[in-house]
Amino acid sequence: MRRSERLIRITKDLLDHPNRALSLSDLAERLEAAKSSISEDVALVRGVLERDGSGVVWSIAGAAGGVKYQVRVPPAQREAFQQNIVARLSDPSRILPGGFLYMSDVLGDPDVLDLAGRLFAEAFADRDIQVVVTVETKGIPLAVSAARYLHVPVAVVRRDHRVTEGASVSIHYISGSERRIQTMSISKRAMPQRARALVVDDFMKAGATAKGVVNLLAEFEAQVAGVAVFVATQEPAEKLVPEYVSLFTLGPLQEGAGVILAPALPVQS
Amino acid sequence: MRRSERLIRITKDLLDHPNRALSLSDLAERLEAAKSSISEDVALVRGVLERDGSGVVWSIAGAAGGVKYQVRVPPAQREAFQQNIVARLSDPSRILPGGFLYMSDVLGDPDVLDLAGRLFAEAFADRDIQVVVTVETKGIPLAVSAARYLHVPVAVVRRDHRVTEGASVSIHYISGSERRIQTMSISKRAMPQRARALVVDDFMKAGATAKGVVNLLAEFEAQVAGVAVFVATQEPAEKLVPEYVSLFTLGPLQEGAGVILAPALPVQS
């Protein structure tokens, strides 16, 4: 097989399988080339991705040796994304009763979901995440996108308890906005035991929901390795979860007034 | 820029942007090469993808000229996927009261979601889909994956009506399993008018939910260009929607008995 074809296949293999170890021996066999040639090809792909800031390719030591691609977002792409989202969401007609911001259209946009998933995956790339957990409904698309780039399963916390979920674990928690006791549950079979979990949601105000998820995950002896939201409100500044990453920060909302939304850099702490 | 680098970047550009027109002039400018060289590069990438059966690259005529990548699933990969899913789901412990099959863990698996999304996108590649519509909750991850490969927004039908959805359109329908009147609603701003819609869900029995979605979409003068589900039951054979694509067919379920699941080829009609 010619080098040009090998490069196309290796690029595709890496991009189609983010955060997964690919064996060099397997690649060599499939692409009918010597392992040394494959290593040179991978080095070329790595060079391009890393120069563009759109990914890193790790070498994995061990018996067979392998490589793993992780997504990165080039700074210019991140800035364009932030400007685009701020422009779209800073529209007073999005202000809903009760201090909510209408975001469902934006959170259904495939480019928004893709880039948010990449940003979350990048922010938690070194946390060895084993499962992404979200709460129905609006956080699910974001969670699916992040889970794709982290290559881990996604588990969905339900606000009710449906027969189709089988045996479930439930807890009660006090919702932040409605100040009343609510239930959340998760299917036992969908949530691994003792996993390192990333909690993903669309919106965080006080953090009561995220706190509820943390408590629910404690029943699975999970370790919450991170909390990531699309938008977090500026107030209250102290959330009920100790640390989180948000892509945007939202100022106080009043019907008839403007929307103050600012990009918030995902910061690892 | 060397050809090897151009090939890597073009492959990445196409794979990162399924079902989207990329301008050859833009590529030529960005990759600092003549349009004729870019055309040759694209032909190489197209050749590899099409020989592998993992994608097609369309040439788009017009002022600037462009290319568009659409995903395809190689038959061997589809067969391996079908065998894997049948093996995992054909487990009597998955049978739930009421004739349901437990699938939440499988539908959270990133590889399953990715391949199901590709298969749905392939099955409806020529239908000019403009939006993917699903019903909360379990269909959402499948819908997000299909929408990624079709590069269209996803709109989520809610079973309740939340303040965060803003102005919504609601209808009532008779649920198939519970035989009672239920509500479904969709946010007006998230659902485009007069769009060609693909309805995606995890499970179809009689098709009452899908029928409800079709009726709801009629309020938006949408044209339902397809209905796609992960699993459809064998009985009743006549569904309430005239045509649909399912990846698997499920035989009658009885607690204590076996699960009879068969691959169903997505057939375009």
Regions of chain B where pLDDT drops below 50: 267-269
Best mutation target among A105, A149, A229, A231 (most B Cβ atoms within 10 Å) is A105
CA distance A188 to chain B (A): 9
Distance from CA of A110 to the nearest CA of B (A): 5
What integer pLDDT is reported at residue A49 of this predicted model?
98
Q: Is residue A138 part of a domain?
A: yes
Q: Does B165 touch chain A (CB under 8 A)?
A: yes
Same domain flag for A103 and A176: yes
CB contact under 8 A, A148 and B97: no
Residue A269 lies in a domain: no
Whether residues B138 and B95 share a domain: the answer is yes
Contacts from B29-34 at CB under 8 Å and sequence distance 24+?
B31/B1, B31/B6, B32/B1, B33/B1, B33/B6
C-beta atoms of B187 and A163 within 8 A: no
Q: Which residues of A touch B46 (CB under 8 A)?
A: none
Chain B: give the shortest CA distance to residue A95, in Å: 9
Give the CATH number, domain containing residue A169. Answer: 3.40.50.2020
Looking at residue B98, its pLDDT comes to 80
Report pLDDT digits (tens) over B162-173: 888 999 999 999
Asked whether residue A232 is assigned to any structural domain, the reply reads: yes
B25 and B88, same domain (yes or no): no
3-state SS, residue A102: coil
Q: Any idea what the CATH number is for the domain that residue B67 is in?
A: 1.10.10.10
pLDDT at residue A177 in the model = 67
Which of B71, B95, B125 lies at the terminal end of a domain, its last residue? B71
Residue B50 included in any domain: yes
Output phi, psi for A251, to 5 deg.
-75, 175
Based on the fold, state whether residues A99 and A195 are members of the same structural domain: yes
For residue B48, give the chain A residue with the closest CA.
A5
Please report whether residue A86 resides in a domain. Answer: yes
**pLDDT in the model for residue A1:** 78
pLDDT at B139: 97
Calpha distance B168→B164 (Å, rounded): 10
Q: Based on the domain organization, do A60 and A174 belong to the same domain?
A: no
Q: Mark whether B118 and B132 lie in a shared domain.
A: yes
Q: B58 and B98: one domain?
A: no
- Whether residue A42 is found in the same domain as residue A105: no
**Structural domain count of chain A:** 2
Which residues does chain B have within 8 Å of residue A47's beta carbon, measured at their own beta carbons? Answer: 5
Binding-face residues of A in 187-206 toward B, CB within 8 A: 187, 189-190, 203
Q: What is the mean pLDDT of residues A85-92?
A: 95
pLDDT band at A268 (very low <50, low <70, confident <90, very high): very low
Kindly state whether residues B42 and B57 are assigned to the same domain. yes
ipTM score of complex: 0.96
Test mutation, A137, A145, A187, chain B, max B CBs within 10 A: A137
In this structure, are B186 and B105 located in the same domain?
yes
Q: Do the domain assignments include residue A98?
A: yes
Question: Would you call B156 and A108 a contact, using CB atoms and an 8 Å cutoff?
Answer: yes
Q: Tell me the nearest-neighbour CA distance from A63 into chain B, angstroms.
A: 25
The reply to whether B246 and B113 lie within a common domain is yes
Q: Mean pLDDT across the stretch A40-62?
A: 96
Is residue B268 in some structural domain?
no
Q: CA-nearest residue of chain A to B136? A: A137
Give the range of the structural domain holding residue A101, as residue numbers without chain letter: 75-263
> Which of B71, B88, B116 delimits the end of a domain?
B71
Query: How many Å lie between the alpha carbon of A254 and the closest alpha carbon of chain B?
Result: 15
Q: How many CB pairs under 8 A join A and B?
A: 164
pLDDT, position B266 = 57
Least confident among A56-60, A178-182, B57-61:
A178-182
From CA B38, how far away is CA B31, in angstroms rounded? 8
* Statement to judge: residues B65 and B79 lie in one domain: no
Which of B49, B71, B93 is the endpoint of a domain? B71
Residue B79 lies in a domain: yes
